[in-house]
Amino acid sequence: MKSNSEIKKEAVQVLELEAKALLNLASRINDDFVELIQLILNLKGRVILTGIGKSAIIAQKIVATLNSTGTPSIFMHAADAIHGDLGIIQQDDLIIAISKSGNTPEIKVLIPFLKQTNNKLVAIVGNMNSYLAEQADYILDTTVDREACPNNLAPTTSTTAQLAMGDALAVCLQTAREFTDRDFAKYHPGGALGKQLYLKVGDVANLKSQPSVHTDDSIKQLIITITKHRLGATAVINDGQIVGIITDGDIRRMLEKHDDISRLKAIDIMSKKPKEIEAEELAANALHKMRENNISQLLVTKQGSYAGIIHIQDLLKEGII
């Protein structure tokens, strides 16, 4: 059995081998890649990816990435294609076939049928002399020197190269489409990721509760206000404008400093220039601002007017954190 140090050493060797293979891909980004990007950008149909074995799994991941970044895509298993799934292909679609050898029996059987449809065929292939490479209209070379597998057999480095080439395609298409985080949110409405991209401060904060005191209000009045609204803070208002904030922490610090609080007013203990955020901003931005300033609440405004308070607990409840 290998020692801990030997296991670590082998893991590092695998990562270094695969990293080197990815760096080598950079020199293979050629005119075919650029022309393919332009072709897909102007495509009326969809991008259909196909493959067999581990390459099929990589194809499915690339399809998922393309779909989530604005390029409509479909996966078609190479083995199933010749048993009816060729009907997936429509006139304006583009086909990307992924294969390390480019000579697997399923791919060699499939390609003549793909050529009959007159759709453009792209090869993501690790053998530039293969049948797939010879038949393709565009070639993305993912040749690797060897697999990370010690027997140089199990697809490891080669599938990493395929995946990275697919990511390069997806990202270039995404930036060319000027695909923004708002667009991304449309395709990821579920889970914490989706919420970070579409939930706004106004959706999370309880804007029906707007605790506020005047600068001249007594300590008793502000404590009553904070207790009533249960947000751990209150805005301080003067002439209709926000001039400060008082939190539970401010009250504790006041009690530490003063034995007699009977003559103190809100203005005496408030924090001036409080941090604010517009209700239309993303809730994720509120979290960033809280973390940046090491605070738990932000005053929420609507078009410059006080609208309420958002607390870090509101973000926790929604899964933003």
* Per-residue pLDDT tens digits for 41-92: 999 999 999 999 999 999 999 999 999 888 999 999 999 988 888 999 999 9
Whether residues 229 and 167 share a domain: the answer is no
CB 246 within 8 A of CB 231: no
Pair of tokens at residue 110: 């499939």
Q: Which backbone phi and psi does 214 adopt, to 5 degrees?
A: -90, 160
DSSP secondary structure letter of residue 270: P
Residue 210: domain span: 201-317
186 falls within a domain: no
266 falls within a domain: yes
Which H or E run includes 315? helix 312-317
For residue 77, say whether it is annotated as part of any ligand binding site: yes
62 falls within a domain: yes
Whether residues 217 and 313 share a domain: the answer is yes
CA distance 293 to 149: 48
Among 23-27, 235-239, 315-319, where is mean pLDDT lowest? 315-319
Whether residues 215 and 165 share a domain: the answer is no
The residue from 121, 149, 179 where one domain ends is 179
267 falls within a domain: yes
Q: Which backbone phi and psi does 319 adopt, to 5 degrees?
A: 80, 15
Is 97 in a helix, a strand, or coil?
strand
Q: Which residues does residue 94 pair with via DSSP β-bridges, in sequence order?
A: 47
pTM exceeding 0.75: no
184 falls within a domain: no
Contacts of 290 (CB under 8 A, 6+ apart): 296, 297, 298, 312, 315
Whether residues 227 and 139 share a domain: the answer is no
**CATH code of the domain containing 152:** 3.40.50.10490
Whether residues 213 and 175 share a domain: the answer is no
Whether residues 175 and 208 share a domain: the answer is no
301 falls within a domain: yes
Domains held by the chain: number: 2
Q: Give the C-alpha distances (Å, rounded to integers) separating 232 from 131, 143, 240, 257, 264.
A: 69, 60, 21, 20, 20
142 vs 193, higher pLDDT: 142
Tens digits of residue pLDDT in 260-270:
898 899 999 99
